[in-house]
Amino acid sequence: MRNRRTALISAAVLVIGAGLFGIGAFPASGAPPSTGQSLTAGWDGLRVASLAEAERRMDAEAGAEGETLVFFGVETGFAVVDVSPTGISPGDFVLFEEDLYTDKDRTQPAGFDSARTELSLTTAHVEGTFQVSGGKISVAGTAFGTAGSTIYSIVGGTGRYADAGGVFIPFELPGGDTALLFRVLR
C-alpha cells in the first residue's frame, strides 16, 4: 500500500501545465482534495523487487565506493501550500517530515527528515535534510517526471557529514514500502 507521501512528484509533474484535466483546489491545511485526485508528498521512489535490487541499482548509479546508509521513514507531518491560482500550479509547495528507522519493521530509531517540494512548470524541485547519528545530510534535486529522475545529489551536511557528497535514491519496495538509500562520499 503506497502511503500518501510517495506519489507527489510523479503526479504533480504529470499534471503541472495540464490544467485542462480539472485538478481540484487544495486547501492550505494539507487535506487531500475531495474530488478524488491525490496530490501527496515526498520521496517518490524507483520501483524495485527487493532491497537487494535497490542496493545493486545504487551501485550502478553511484559506484561501489563510499558509505551506504539505508533508512525507512514514517511520515509525521504533511502540508500543502497552495499559492494562486487555486489547484495544482507552479509555485505550490508540499512539505513533509518523517521519523527514520534503520529497519523495515521500524523498531530501531535513526533520526528524522524534513523536506520541501516546489512545483515548477513541468518539474518538481526537491530539497531535504536528514538528521541522523553523527550529523545532518542535505539532499537536493529535480524530478522531471521520467524514469530515473528521482535520483538526488547529497549537497553537504554537518558533523561527520560536513564534507559529504554522493547520491540519495528513494526506492519503492513491494507492498508500497519506501527504502531511502544514501551513498555518502567524503
List phi, psi (to 5°) of 80: -115, 130
Task: Tell me the domains of the chain and their CATH numbers.
Answer: 8-18+25-185 (2.40.480)
Q: How far is 79 from 122, CA to CA, in rounded Å? A: 21
Read off the C-alpha cell for 130. Answer: 536528514
Q: What is the pLDDT of residue 147?
A: 62
Q: Which residues contact 118 (CB under 8 A, 6 or more apart)?
A: 91, 92, 93, 124, 125, 126
- Spell 48-69 as b/e; 16+ CB within 10 A means b: beebeebbebbeeebeeebeeb
Q: What is the pLDDT of residue 149?
A: 66
Where do runs of H (alpha helix) occur along the chain? Answer: 8-15, 51-62
Per-residue pLDDT of the chain (186 residues; tens, 9 = 90+): 344 444 444 444 333 332 222 222 233 333 333 333 344 455 778 899 999 999 999 999 998 899 999 999 999 999 999 999 999 899 999 999 999 999 999 999 999 999 999 999 989 999 999 999 999 999 999 988 766 668 999 999 999 999 999 999 999 999 888 899 999 998
DSSP 3-state assignment of 183? strand
